[in-house]
């Protein structure tokens, strides 16, 4: 039974094979992804390309998780972890851009990491959680550099992100199969709490990271001074 997707996440599967609570809470990522995409589209101070890519990663995360805890139609755990790896990879790119690294270099780095990850997955499909973890480490290091250099101000969005992740990690750890909070037939599933809280954490991280991230476009038109205007009139 351990090779069945979601078997280590405590909740029992219904006769149709679905883990109902975990399946339902997986859609939080999709909802958050759509909300982020709409938010990005309504802002003028946001790097929209990065924002929409991150939103797409969240949507794919939710769809992969719903399949993992539901019908399991896609190859797993690749579908479950692939969307999250994409979202984290894009988040890393957002942070590297904030560190003033050239866009072309960021694109080459992310493509290289994605290509290497794809090659590893071809050899060992079960390594997708490890790859997502490697990208997460890169993201954390970039975050540390950003705040050490004062490139992003610490505010309420960061507190919500950290708090949600902290509680989510505790719920995840204690609710695994055999854990003290594990009740396979309960409507309150710790792994489902993890889904909800990590979706919230990713949403507020995006708000804090993307706000004010757009680069100025177009040429600045100089406004003539009164002296310049008068001098032109005398010619």
pLDDT of residue 122: 73
Q: How far is CA 136 from CA 140, 171, 195, 219, in A?
A: 6, 19, 17, 37
CATH topology of domain 20-216: Rhopdopsin 7-helix transmembrane proteins (1.20.1070)
pTM of the model: 0.83
Distance CA 197, CA 166 (A): 9
For residues 161 and 200, give the distance between their C-alpha atoms in angstroms, rounded to a whole number. Answer: 7
Q: What is the pLDDT along the chain (235 residues), one digit of tens a residue?
A: 456 777 789 999 998 889 999 999 999 999 999 999 999 999 988 889 999 999 999 999 999 999 999 998 888 877 888 888 889 999 999 999 999 888 888 888 888 888 887 787 777 766 767 777 788 888 899 999 999 999 988 889 999 999 999 999 999 999 999 899 999 999 999 999 999 999 999 999 999 999 877 654 333 334 444 454 444 454 4
Query: Phi and psi dihedrals of 207, rounded to 5?
Result: -60, -45
* 93 CB burial (10 A radius; 0-12, 13-18, 19+): buried
Find out whether 105 and 82 touch, Cβ atoms under 8 Å: no
Separation between Cα atoms, residue 144 and residue 206, nearest integer Å: 16
Instruction: Give the C-alpha distances (Å, rounded to integers) separating 134 from 50, 107, 117, 131, 182.
Output: 20, 18, 10, 5, 28
Domain limits, the chain: 20-216
CA distance 72 to 138: 30
CA distances from 73 to 65, 156, 182, 186, 217 (A): 11, 39, 26, 25, 44
CA distance 119 to 82: 13
């Amino acid at each position: 039974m351990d090779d069945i997707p979601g078997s280590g996440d405590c909740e029992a599967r219904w006769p149709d094979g679905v883990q109902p609570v975990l399946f339902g809470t997986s859609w939080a990522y999709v909802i958050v992804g759509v909300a982020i995409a709409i938010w990005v589209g309504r802002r003028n101070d946001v790097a929209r390309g990065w924002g929409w890519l991150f939103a797409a990663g969240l949507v794919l995360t939710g769809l992969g998780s719903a399949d993992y805890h539901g019908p399991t139609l896609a190859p797993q755990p690749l579908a479950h972890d692939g969307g999250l790896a994409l979202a984290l990879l894009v988040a890393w790119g957002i942070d590297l851009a904030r560190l003033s690294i050239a866009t072309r270099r960021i694109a080459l780095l992310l493509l290289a990491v994605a290509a290497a990850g794809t090659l590893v997955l071809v050899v060992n499909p079960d390594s997708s959680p490890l790859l997502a973890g490697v990208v997460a480490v890169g993201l954390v290091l970039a975050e540390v550099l950003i705040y050490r250099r004062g490139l992003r101000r610490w505010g309420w969005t960061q507190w919500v992100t950290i708090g949600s992740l902290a509680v989510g990690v505790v719920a995840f750890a204690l609710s695994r199969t055999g854990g003290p909070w594990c009740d396979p037939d309960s409507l309150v599933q710790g792994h489902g709490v993890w889904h909800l809280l990590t979706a919230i954490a990713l949403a507020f991280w995006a708000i804090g990271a993307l706000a004010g991230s757009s680069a100025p476009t177009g040429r600045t038109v100089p406004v003539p001074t009164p002296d310049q205007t008068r001098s032109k009139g005398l010619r």
